[in-house]
Amino acid sequence: MLIFVARRLGLMLLSALVLTFVVFYLTNLPPNLEKLARSEGSVRMTDEAVAQWIIDNGYGGSVIGRYGQWLGVVPGWSNVDEKGVPRGRCFAAGSDPALAPSYCGILQGDWGYSTYFRGPVLPNLGEKLGATGVLMLWVMIVMIPTSLLIGILAGMREGSRTDRVLSTFSIATTATPEYVSGVVLVALLASPVTGLSPLLSEWGVIDGKILFQGAASPDRITFWSFTLPVLTIALYGIGYIARMTRASMTEVMTAQYIRTARLKGVGFRQVVLRHALRNALIAPFTVIMLQFPWLLNGVVIVETLFNYKGFGWTLVVAAGNNDINLLLGCSVVAVFVVLVTQLISDIGYVFLNPRIRLS
Amino acid sequence: MADTTWDPSKPILEIENLSISFFTRLREIPAVMDFSCAVMAGEAMGLVGESGCGKSTVALAVMRDLGKNGKIVAGSIKFKGRDLTHMTDEELRHIRGSEIAMIYQEPMASLNPAMKIGAQLAEVPMIHSGMAKEDAWNLARQIVADVRLPDPDRIINAYPHQLSGGQQQRIVIAMALMAKPALLILDEPTTALDVTVEAGIVDLVKDLGEKYGTSMLFISHNLGLVMDVCDRICVMYSGEAVETGNVVEVFDTMRHPYTQALFRSIPLPGADKNARPLISIPGNFPLPHERPQGCNFGPRCDYFQAGRCDATDIPMDPVPGSDRHASRCLRWSEIDWDAPPAKRAVKEKAAVGKVVLKMEDLKKYYAISSGAFGGGEKKVVKANETLSFEAREGETLAIVGESGCGKSTFAKVLMGLETATSGSIMLFDENVQSTPIQKRNVDTVSSVQMVFQNPFDTLNPSMTVGRQIIRALEIFKQGTSDEDRQNRMLELLDLVKLPRAFAERMPRQLSGGQKQRVGIARAFAGGAKVVVADEPVSALDVSVQAAVTDLLMDIQRENRTTLLFISHDLSIVRYLSDRVLVMYLGHVVETGTTDQVFQPPYHPYTEALLSAVPIADTKVIRKRIVLEGDIPSAVNPPPGCPFQTRCRWKAQVPGGLCDREVPPMVTLEGGHQIKCHLSPEVFAAMEPVIKVAAE
């Protein structure tokens, strides 16, 4: 067990290194750095001044060396610019280089300076991540029970009317990307001029002009503001997980041990609850875990659409504003979310299924 | 349930003119037609027939579990006088499990993998008699002890995958017995098990039947097994019962041509591949929608009379002066049943040539790890231990043993799919033990070929039969041009007695026996000198088995091939092999000519194996030796003699030698070798297991 986890952790670290390096390399391509120089320095800089700015601000040298600095395994750069002010990675311009530590990368907890937020990356990212965590939690609370219920109801009697209706629903939701379902939901439920809201408002069912709010904020989480973003992300996952659960359930329902149970005289309800359920849930468990990375995907779209200032929104902002350190921070977080959920899924699978032995 | 109205002298199960059909989008497929039988209280009824004859459908119809497509179209099934065909789901639920219980073919698949054994057992009385959970678990523990499982407390808290196949089947039996049912349906309960385990299960079923007075409907394709267990028998063919009656009457004085043909196609003691070869049933089993007019067996019957047998439906005709014996044959009273079979072609015994394959001290160990996540301590599985033998040209060497004895590992090593840990394999004076198949040259590969167990999985489903054989010819570098290979392929089809038109067919259009013939043609494509046949007929029906074995024998005679016949079926081994090698837990425990191995002195394991094989002959008297427990795991073999944990002769060896030392190979007269500590006097005093009573 420990060896397995240790081996998986080692592999995870390796993948994290490779993936962050790819992101680092791409964000640190020369044109990108020039753009950064012009936005941070002055738009009217000469090409020579841009080159000098890049060197002064530690963006010179090899990519690998800079990646090492960012990681914190290579001493941070320091130099003195033409005005005689000492500058360096690990200390603010003008302060004494002797007092600063020589290593300052993400390993030391220094995730760099965000040009967009005008502050260090880590606290900003942490706050946004917390906001996304709340959103994700509600998505999970809605998505998992709903999808499992739909999947099991559809799968317990393959080909029945319930199955067809629920399967159609699942296929429809999973075939609709978030940027479509989000817009449709907003138009239908959160617009004062189209959809249901004007009607409801006219009939006096709701007090305001709209039923649900089309924007959400981490500071004010209410049922009315949170329903649409949660629903938009959850809908896609519901369809997908329900399809998987249904497939697993139909397979289990044709298994011989289900026949055994039926011919023992067990009633249909008990067959489903006592005999089929646990076996049917083994496969969807992995799928649910695999949904986490997908949720990150949905979060980017939904947070932008509903202007919810979370992780996805931050990612979009970082990319849009050429905020290299913030973007790198986001990628580290994303990589770890994906890898950790994979690890949990593998370990959980072994515990759920007594027959599995990994080797 | 209230069954006060039922008179115990009446049949407990009475099936009358039952017809069952499956409905597909295209058509209605009749699976069972006009089937009648009656099981009296305490009686065991055997239902035999080949696969697809409808015997399992009858069982499921009794349980009223035919699925969505299956329907009972006519007739009635009366259980204790109540008609099951008209019961509601709720009424059925009360009968299932409490009054009628079923035991299935594959014990692993029929137990819930995620539920503890105790919970699965305790469920039955909790549902049917509302027993409290604690009492139900206690009852479960008691029944587990009843089915002779060791350590019931551990077992009821175990999950199914933690038990061996034999133990799982005992649990399924225990589950069926939880509510003390009046009728037990057993659907091929031992087919998935080894013979020595099967013997234990059969004994258990018989004893429990007597103890609880349970009636049984025993479904099997194995006539010997039916004779062991049942009082009455019903032979089915293509959806119809063709003959029914008392077991002894049907076995000794059968009155239906199909029953007769079936008995002539199974290897009974006395059958011999040269002097008294088996007679296979010509033709194929008709598909349900292609059944002939009149008698279903007509086209394959030796006594067929055109215009009479194919004119009308044939009713069941009682045989006068017998115990409810009846036959579905118009001509049964005209046929001379004692006449010997007409066309028994006596064949020459092939001479045995020089040594082509020689193995010496072959060892194959595997290293495995035991932890749930790949960790844990490394263990060594000794799949083959000091395997030594020679095989000569034109000889059939049988390798016999139960699952896990290492016979398949041996085949893999010989084929080069695995390399040996140590020892040598000499093939035509060439040492091949450490050459994996990728590095063997074309000559070596084409001269050692294999016929596989399951013909259904070994042919590529998307390639025509001819193409697959040509592909083999190409790989073996046979023939100079495409035309040449095409001709060679057609010759190979002739060799395996398939029509040349089959070259254009896809594997799915072929029956099991035909597929196995294609497998044989493919193996012989490169002029194989040594053919390893790994259970080549065990997946086939009895009537086809004889034809495929005969084919193998014929090709062997012609090509002087060395045949290594791996099997667990001792009847067929006795019938066709020249020499036998008995394996147990990776060791060769006995080797010698077929006569030497099948006659005393035996190795104690061979003795048990021989006694475990059911023989479908009322004149054969068998000594019952039931081995206790299961085969020990190869990961953790017992110290000393591998067989000591189950050996009934162990007490005859002084000084606990069996616990300490692996016995040496003792050579007896005529090159007969036995790996056992028993003294020559004990060997000399051994009695034969099988005796044929004087007629």
Contact between residue B465 and residue B510 where contact means Cβ atoms under 8 Å apart: yes
First to last CA, chain A: 11
DSSP 8-state code for residue B188: S
Q: Residue A94 is encoded by which pair of tokens?
A: 């003008």
Task: Please list, residue by residue across A30-56, b when 16 or more beta carbons sit within 10 angstroms of its beta carbon and e when fewer do.
Answer: eeebbebbbeebeeebeeeebbbbbeb
Cβ neighbours around B57 below 10 Å, total: 21
**Given CA atoms A224, A226, A229, A234 in this order, what sign does their dihedral have?**
negative
A–B: how many Cβ contacts below 8 A?
100
For the stretch B497-544, pLDDT in tens is 788 888 888 888 887 788 888 888 888 888 888 888 888 887 777 777
Alpha helices in B147-216 (DSSP H): 152-156, 165-177, 195-212
Amino acid (one-letter) located at B658: C
* DSSP SS3 for B603: coil
Cα distance between residue A80 and residue B78, in whole Å:
102
For the stretch B56-110, pLDDT in tens is 888 888 888 887 788 888 888 888 888 888 888 888 888 888 888 888 888 888 8
Question: What pLDDT is stored for residue A170 in this prediction?
Answer: 92
* pLDDT-based confidence at residue B3 (cuts at 50, 70, 90): very low
Whether residue B93 lies within 8 A of chain A, CB to CB, comes out as yes
For the stretch B390-404, pLDDT in tens is 888 888 888 988 877
Cα distance between residue B265 and residue B278, in whole Å:
5
Residues from chain B contacting residue A355 (CB–CB below 8 Å): 113, 159, 161
Whether residue B312 lies within 8 A of chain A, CB to CB, comes out as no
Strands B396-400 and B579-584: parallel
Task: Please list, residue by residue across B375-392, b when 16 or more beta carbons sit within 10 angstroms of its beta carbon and e when fewer do.
Answer: beeeeebbbbbbbbbebb
Cα distance between residue B227 and residue B235, in whole Å:
12
Which residue of B lies nearest to A275 if distances are taken between CA atoms? B112
Q: Average pLDDT over chain B, rounded to whole?
A: 82
For the stretch B294-316, pLDDT in tens is 888 888 888 888 888 887 888 88
What does pLDDT average to in each consecutive run of 10 residues of chain A (359 residues)? Answer: 80 86 88 83 81 81 85 79 74 72 80 83 86 88 90 88 92 89 88 81 77 79 85 89 90 87 85 86 77 79 89 89 86 84 77 55
Q: Classify residue A22 by burial, with Cβ atoms within 10 Å: 0-12, 13-18, 19+.
A: exposed
Whether residue B509 lies within 8 A of chain A, CB to CB, comes out as no
Q: Which of B63, B114, B371 is closest, CB to CB, to A263?
A: B63
**Conformational region of residue B572, where left means phi above 0, alpha means psi within -120 to 50, and beta covers everything else:** alpha
**Conformational region of residue B188, where left means phi above 0, alpha means psi within -120 to 50, and beta covers everything else:** left
pLDDT at B1 over 50: no
Cα distance between residue B26 and residue B118, in whole Å:
45
Strands B44-48 and B215-220: parallel
Nearest CA to A258 among A235, A277, A238?
A: A277
Residue that is written with structure tokens 């001044």 in the block: A49
Contact between residue B589 and residue B664 where contact means Cβ atoms under 8 Å apart: no
Residues 6+ apart with CB under 8 A from B543: B50, B261, B262, B265, B280, B281, B285
Q: Which of B63, B93, B114 is closest, CB to CB, to A267?
A: B93
Nearest CA to B541 among B95, B118, B50?
A: B50
Question: What pLDDT is stored for residue A353 in this prediction?
Answer: 65
First to last CA, chain B: 50
For the stretch B236-251, pLDDT in tens is 888 888 888 888 888 8
Contact between residue B426 and residue B388 where contact means Cβ atoms under 8 Å apart: no
Q: Classify residue B195 by burial, with Cβ atoms within 10 Å: 0-12, 13-18, 19+.
A: buried
What average pLDDT score do residues B106-134 get? Answer: 86
pLDDT at B293 over 50: yes
Distance of CA B670 to the CA centre of its chain: 32
Amino acid (one-letter) located at A21: F
B455: distance to nearest CA of chain A, Å?
Answer: 24
Cα distance between residue B337 and residue B329, in whole Å:
13
Range from A144-148, B57-61, B288-292, B645-649 carrying the lowest mean pLDDT: B288-292
Residues from chain B contacting residue A256 (CB–CB below 8 Å): 104, 106, 109-110
pLDDT at B2 over 50: no
How many distinct helices (H) and strands (E) make up chain B?
22, 26
Residue with the larger pLDDT of the pair B370 and B357: B357
Q: Classify residue A316 by burial, with Cβ atoms within 10 Å: 0-12, 13-18, 19+.
A: middle
Question: What pLDDT is stored for residue A164 in this prediction?
Answer: 93
Range from B122-131, B300-309, B316-325, B374-383 carrying the lowest mean pLDDT: B374-383
Alpha helices in A82-160 (DSSP H): 121-156
A340: distance to nearest CA of chain B, Å?
Answer: 17
User: Which of B1, B84, B100, B112 has the most A C-beta neighbours within 10 Å, making it the best mutation to test the interface with A?
Assistant: B112
Residues forming beta bridges with residue B620, ordered by sequence position: B692
Strands B82-83 and B70-79: antiparallel
Contact between residue B634 and residue B586 where contact means Cβ atoms under 8 Å apart: yes
DSSP string, B98-116: TTEEEE-S-HHHHS-TTS-
Residues from chain B contacting residue A275 (CB–CB below 8 Å): 112, 115
For the stretch B163-219, pLDDT in tens is 877 788 888 888 888 888 888 898 888 777 777 778 888 888 888 888 888 888 998
The Cα-based distances of B99 to A260, B129, B133, B578 in angstroms read 15, 12, 21, 50
What average pLDDT score do residues B39-63 get? Answer: 85
Q: Give the full edge-to-edge strand order of the sheet including B396-400.
A: B448-451, B530-534, B562-567, B396-400, B579-584, B587-593, B673-675, B665-667
Residues from chain B contacting residue A266 (CB–CB below 8 Å): 93, 97, 123, 127
Instruction: Return the H-helix or E-strand segment holding A56.
Output: helix A47-56
Cα distance between residue B83 and residue B62, in whole Å:
10
Question: What pLDDT is stored for residue A358 in this prediction?
Answer: 40
For the stretch B584-616, pLDDT in tens is 888 888 888 888 888 878 888 888 888 888 887
Nearest CA to A310 among A336, A324, A330, A338?
A: A330
Cα distance between residue A149 and residue A156, in whole Å:
11
Which residue of B lies nearest to A357 if distances are taken between CA atoms? B372
How open is the CA angle B624-B627-B628, to the nearest 5 degrees?
130
pTM of the full predicted structure?
0.76
pLDDT at B369 over 70: no
Q: Residue B429 is encoded by which pair of tokens?
A: 């004076």
Cα distance between residue B420 and residue B235, in whole Å:
47
Cα distance between residue A184 and residue A178, in whole Å:
10
Residues from chain A contacting residue B368 (CB–CB below 8 Å): 359
Which residue of A lies nearest to B64 if distances are taken between CA atoms? A263
- Dihedral angle computed from the Cα positions of residues A62, A66, A72 and A75, in that order, rounded to the nearest 10 degrees: 70
Q: Classify residue B645 by burial, with Cβ atoms within 10 Å: 0-12, 13-18, 19+.
A: buried
Whether residue B373 lies within 8 A of chain A, CB to CB, comes out as yes
pLDDT at B292 over 50: yes
Question: What pLDDT is stored for residue B343 in this prediction?
Answer: 60
Which residue of B lies nearest to A282 if distances are taken between CA atoms? B114
